Structure 1
Amino acid sequence: MKLNEWKLGAFHLTWLQGGLTQLDGGAMFGVVPKPLWSRKYPNNELNQIPLRADPILVEADGKRILIEAGMGNGRLTDKQKRNFGLAEESRIVESLAAKGLTPDDIDIVVMTHMHYDHCNGLVTWQDGKLVPTFPRAVIFVQEQEWAEMREPNIRSRNTYWEENWRPIERQVQTYGEEHEVLPGMTLHHTGGHSQGHAVVRMESEGQIALHLADIMPTHAHQNPLWVMAYDDYPMTSIFAKEKWIKGGIAQGASFTFYHDAIYRVVKWNEQGEIVEHLDVEL
């Protein structure tokens, strides 16, 4: 099994194989016309674009941390598989095994938000019931996200599922605007894509990486105005992207991705040109 790996100072990052969906390009790029976005990201004859759902294993400070949890296995109905364009389910257990690890070896799971495509992998079918996939892990979720997860509104109930939070509720720890996961890794509440959406900032030995999750799901969403139709609060997404992308580029930061099917990591210069990148290789 091929796993993409990357180092950020003393942090060792590995992308696990968490699944692949194919969603409508119009929804993923919102009001941006197809002649523009199709130059930057591939699409098929059904106007769908490939989107990975690959958690990042971060090994740092003697801990093993997952950023996101993948699509899971056996979690979608046939109708959902068709609607979400599911092309590949998670291979998290196999990915961990390739590194000599098991789900029991995960100490922390960092969730940027709790939409199904990020958190299905938190729970696993075992003997006919759903149980925690990472039973030893503390799971960090922003407090507004966790509240909406348990009491979704008429729009969000389609993506916040009770079966994704009930089995893991005793493992969850919430936080407000900011939380230090470990030295050099912090969570920051942004809102935008969802009310409780958060991003991850990593810094080690003078190097910085930003994981902007679904306010910048792919490298093609680098323009602050290119936000998804899926965003609950698009103007909040735009302002957050302006702040984090502009600030990150000024600091020489790299940007990591969960959904991008082309790049794992990208670094842009002040002109918005890609000057460094790590390709997706499976």
Structure 2
Amino acid sequence: MEQLQVGSLSITWLRGGVTHMDGGAMFGVVPKPLWSKRYPVNEKNQIELRTDPLLIQWQGKNILIESGIGKDKLSEKQKRNYGVEEESDIHGSLEKLGLSAEEIDIVLMTHLHFDHASGLTEPDGDGYKPTFPNAVIYASEVEWNEMKEPNIRSKNTYWKENWEAIQNKVHTFKESYEVIPGLNMYHTGGHSDGHAIIIMNEGEERLIHMADLMPTHAHQNPLWVLAYDDYPMTSIYEKEKWVKDAVDQNSWFIFYHDAIYRALKWDKEYNVTNEVKRNV
């Protein structure tokens, strides 16, 4: 498991599973000859996308960003459709760190699509139970409401199996929320109506998790947005604003989906100046 230490803040990437999604869908209107130079693609035109939660240990708290794709929750058809070659092993990852799921204090959900939220619950007899029984779960109010009442487009990714068992653990916010000192969530919309990003300030350092506004380093260009985005012009606007500001502040960009980089810094010409790469 890869790690990044920034002052008193540490990040460990847990084993949350992997999907392989259509490259054309992941890069929208960008022609394949352009995006395939930036990110590997297989013979099925799929790109590898990790779903690895970030364990933040900071200020005496064990905090997860995202929750993985879960274990024993996807049908064989779903595994084929989403190119799932590996399911979550969150319990195993935590055990290697001397932790248990009961010791997770907070879970930050940028949005609640199945590939982010399926790890929030796990099978329990004929139903489901919370994977992190003692954690408070944070998501935007807009996202939580759509999770419970999805529309004709979003019902394929917002599943009752992922929310019914945790509904008394969810804390929602509107525009922004300071979870603990220096850790803030901001509602952006774009990828989904309730999508949020996360920013952490530790001393002179800043870390930003753009989530699915920028799922991989190859999506740095503001115009390179996903065909999956519900509001692509919002995605473009928010990327222009947040990415430029983060680069100007020499921020760490941290990733959930990227199969190459766990974290990186860019200079103002978008050359990588510091990095944590995934061990393969």
TM-score normalised by the shorter chain: which range applies?
over 0.9
Matches within 5 A, 1:201-280: 201-280=199-278
Which of 184, 187, 192 does residue 186 from structure 1 map onto?
Answer: 184
Cα distance in 2, alignment partners of residues 53 and 187 from structure 1: 20
Distance 1:97 1:72 in 2: 16
Q: Tell me how far 1:260 sits from its aligned partner.
A: 0.1
Displacement after TM superposition at 1:128 (Å): 3.1
RMSD: 0.7
Gapped regions of structure 2 (runs ≥ 5)? none
**Distance in 2 of aligned mates of 1:233 and 1:9:** 36
* Aligned residue among 36, 42, 45 for 1:44: 42
Structure 2 distance, partners of 1:4, 1:19, is: 15
The corresponding residue for 1:142 is 140
Quote the sequence identity (%). Answer: 55
Match of 2:30, SS? Answer: coil
- Equivalent residues of 1:103, 1:133 under 8 A apart: yes
Query: Equivalences for 1:155-194 in 2 at 5 Å?
Result: 155-194=153-192
Which one of 70, 73, 80 corresponds to residue 72 of structure 1? 70
Map of 2:12 onto structure 1: 14
Question: 1:168-219: CA deviations, max 9, x gaps?
Answer: 0000010010001111110001000000000000110110010000000000
**Which consecutive unaligned segments of at least 5 residues does structure 1 have?**
none
Please give the TM-score of this superposition, normalised by the length of structure 1. 0.98
Aligned structure 1 segments of 4 or more residues deviating by more than 3 angstroms: none
Aligned partner of 2:127 in structure 1 is 129
1:85 to 79, 83, 99: 83
**Following the alignment from structure 1 to structure 2, what is the Cα–Cα distance between the partners of residues 190 and 149?**
16
C-alpha separation in 1, matches of 2:71 and 2:267: 39
Secondary structure in structure 1 of the residue aligned to 2:163: helix
Report the alpha carbon displacement of residue 129 of structure 1 after superposing the two structures with TM: 2.0
Report the Cα distance in structure 1 between the residues aligned to 2:152 and 2:121, rounded to whole angstroms.
24
Q: Secondary structure in 2 aligned to 1:278?
A: strand
Provide the rounded CA distance (Å) in 1 between the counterparts of 2:130 and 2:150.
21
What CA deviation, in whole Å up to 9, does each residue of 1:244-272 have, x standing for no partner? 10000001111000000000001111011
Q: Output the amino acid matched with 2:75.
A: T
TM-score of the two chains, using structure 2 as the length reference: 0.99
* Superposed CA offset, 1:27-57 (max 9, x none): 0000000000000000100000000000000
Query: 8 Å contact 1:8–1:203 — kept in the other structure?
Result: no
C-alpha distance in 2, partners of 1:66/1:167? Answer: 18
Give the drift of 1:127. 2.6
Question: Which one-letter code corresponds to 1:124 in the other structure?
Answer: E
Give me the whole-angstrom Cα distance separating, in 2, the residues matched to 1:52 and 1:13: 16
1:242 is displaced (CA, Å) by 0.4
